[in-house]
A = this chain, B = another copy of it.
Amino acid sequence: MRYIPHTEADVRRMLDVIGVESVEALFEDVPRGLRLGRPLEVPAAASEHEVLRELGALAARNVHAESHAWFLGAGTYAHFVPSAIDALASRAEFYTSYTPYQPEISQGTLQTIFEWQTMICALTGLEVANASMYDGASATAEAALMAMRVTRRSKVVVAGLHPHYRDVVRTYLGGAGATIEHASYGPDGRTRDLASHVDDATACVVLQSPAFLGPVEDVRAAAEAAHARGAMLVVSVAEALSLGLLRAPGELGADVVCGEAQSFGIPMGFGGPHLGFLAAREKHLRQLPGRLCGETVDAHGKRGFVLTLSTREQHIRRERATSNICTNQGLMLLRATIFLALHGAHGLTALARQNVAKAAYLRSRVAATPGLSLPFSAPVFHELVVKLAPGDTAERALARALDAGIVGGLDLAPYAPELGPALLVCATEIATRESIDRLVSALGGAAS
């Protein structure tokens, strides 16, 4: 086996040094009766070329953003990934290293984390950010848990949340005895009557903006509603790119900002690995989950970076840790940091503006197409709900789009059946005008 260097002569010499007869003897502590005693029933080893052929065949049986024009978002977004990102993230020094426990030999990873933390603080308008969470959903759940620890309250009000995020929050909070209340959306698509859900038992409001169905929420009003009853405001951003254009939630009153940064140079990858982020105010630092990198000096006074404040973490604090997270999403953090470094102060905003323009064009085309309609008037970032003609179904509309070489959006039936036949459609910078036109005419095609 080409991954294992041992020759039979090596094995012999090593056994001699150890002083046993056979490799088998090394397993003497495994009671005979507990041994497997037969070969594993997995397929026989294949050569490298065979494995690649087999995987190539499996890969070919999925549509993807290079095979089709792409309008499906809903938390996972098709953006262009600059080539420099994969080139750099493919450096073995980055991808074959461990969590940087030994700082003197891990400064590459550590400096990257420090840069990421700085950029996430800048984007969220907050003061401390961690070194990543698994994904936007679990970051949101961890944010809610953090708010519960800070406030010592147990009710969580969620609004605008991606249904999968909602599920994950429910799963994570199950062990903590939380109650979860959902605020619903009003006629313009934005969360309504948020204040009516917040009471003195409320640990936090968790508001997703842009909301699952597209609308950009009123963060300032949500902060007022939460703070009025001593609750915290958690803003969950499932599309981190929106932070390139929208005012930093921290400036608008959010206490914690968390979310998903897949849009920053990470391929959609059938949903993972993505990149959860979480930022908060300095005063809540000791309650922050996840790893943190801090600046320090070496024995000669030279600047360097280390993992720090690990007394919050499981490997020191064990059952009293702020989270159980250990391995996180380091390499995705690297990708996102490179992405942000490439785009910078102006590029991120310019890119976000292109997304807004594409969605605005889509919206205008939908508005002008007989049969299609826009149920919500609230402003959006790059994603919006399109109602289909009465009598049409999302399935049929998507099939028409597919015939035109387009993956046309998300069938909202399982998520928002109250809307009738409707799609959640996302237009990013990779959508060309021509493909938007084709999409809209395919979706409106039931009318003809």
Binding site for B on A (CB under 8 A): 2, 48-49, 52, 56, 66, 80, 82-83, 87, 90-92, 342, 429-430
User: What are the residues of chain B within 8 A of A83 when measuring CB–CB?
Assistant: 48, 52
User: A429 vs B53: C-alpha distance in the bound complex, in angstroms?
Assistant: 14
Contacts of A342 in B (CB 8 A): 2
Check if B48 sits within 8 Å of A56, measured CB to CB: no
Which residues from chain B contact A92 at a C-beta distance below 8 Å?
87, 91
A430 to chain B: which residues have CB within 8 Å?
Answer: 49
Give, as a whole number of angstroms, the nearest-CB distance from A347 to chain B. Answer: 9
Residue of B nearest to A2 (CB): B342
* In contact, B82 and A48 (Cβ under 8 angstroms): yes
A56 CB contact (under 8 Å) in B66, B87, B91, B429? B66
User: What's the nearest-Cβ distance from chain B to residue A266, in Å?
Assistant: 16
Chain B min CB distance to A50 (Å): 10
8 contacts between A and B (CB under 8 A): A2-B342, A48-B80, A48-B83, A52-B83, A56-B66, A87-B92, A91-B91, A91-B92
What residues on B are CB-neighbors of A66 within 8 Å? 56
Whole-angstrom CA separation of A82 from B49 in the bound complex: 8
Please tell me if the beta carbons of A49 and B90 are within 8 angstroms of each other in the complex: no
Contact B80 A49 (CB under 8 A): yes
A87 vs B52: C-alpha distance when bound (angstroms): 15
Q: Beyond A49-B80, A49-B430, list 9 extra A-B contacts (CB 8 Å).
A: A2-B342, A48-B80, A48-B82, A48-B83, A49-B429, A56-B66, A87-B90, A90-B90, A91-B92
Complex: how many Å from CA A436 to CA B322? 62
Note all chain B residues with C-beta closer than 8 A to A82: 48
Number of this chain's copies in the complex: 2
Tell me the smallest distance from the CB of A346 to a CB of chain B, in Å.
Answer: 12
Distance A91 CA – B83 CA, assembled complex (angstroms)? 15
Q: How far is the CB of A441 from chain B (nearest CB, A)?
A: 22
Find chain B residues with CB under 8 A from A80 CB: 48-49
Task: Please name the residue on chain B nearest to A432 by beta carbon.
Answer: B53
Contacts of A87 in B (CB 8 A): 90, 92
Chain B's nearest CB lies how many Å from the CB of A335? 16
Report the 4 A-B pairs with minimum CB-CB distance, sorted nearest first. Answer: A49-B80, A48-B82, A90-B90, A48-B83
Q: Which of chain B's residues has its CB closest to A86's CB?
A: B90
CB distance from A93 to the nearest CB of B (A): 10
Q: Which residue of B lies closest to A93 (CB)?
A: B91
Closest B residue by C-beta to A56: B66
CA gap between A92 and B86 in the complex, in Å: 13
Which of A49, A92, A430 is the most central at the interface, judged by chain B CB atoms within 10 Å of its CB?
A49
A52 to B2 CA separation, bound complex (whole angstroms): 35
Chain B residues, CB < 8 A from A90: 87, 90
- A54 shortest CB reach to chain B, Å: 13
Chain B residue, CB-CB nearest to A429:
B49
Alpha-carbon distance A48/B85, docked complex (angstroms)? 13
CB distance from A442 to the nearest CB of B (A): 21
In the bound assembly, the distance between CA atoms of A92 and B90 in angstroms comes to 11
**Distance, CA A66 to CA B90, complexed state (A):** 23
Chain B proximity of A56: nearest CB distance (Å): 7
Query: In the complex, what distance in Å separates the CA atom of A11 from the CA atom of B373?
Result: 53
Q: Which residue of B lies closest to A49 (CB)?
A: B80
Residue on B nearest A52 in the bound complex, by CB: B83
Instruction: Give A88's nearest chain B residue, CB to CB.
Output: B92
Query: CB-CB < 8 A to A56: which residues of B?
Result: 66
- A82 and B3 CA atoms in complex are apart in Å by 13
Tell me how far the C-beta of A375 lies from the nearest C-beta in chain B, rounded to whole angstroms. 32
Query: Which chain B residue shows the least CB distance to A87?
Result: B90
- Which residue of chain B has the shortest Cβ distance to A48 in the bound complex? B82
Minimum CB–CB distance from A196 to chain B (whole Å) comes to: 46
On chain B, the residues within 8 Å of A48 by CB distance are 80, 82-83
Complexed CA–CA distance, A342 and B47 (Å): 14
CA distance A92 to B88 in the complex (A): 9
The distance in angstroms between the C-alpha atoms of A430 and B429, with both chains bound, is: 40
Q: How far apart are the CA atoms of A236 and B158 in the complex, in Å? A: 74
Q: Inside 8 A of A52's CB, which chain B residues have their CB?
A: 83
How far in angstroms is the closest Cβ of chain B from A310? 33
A218 and B95 alpha carbons, distance in the complex (Å): 51
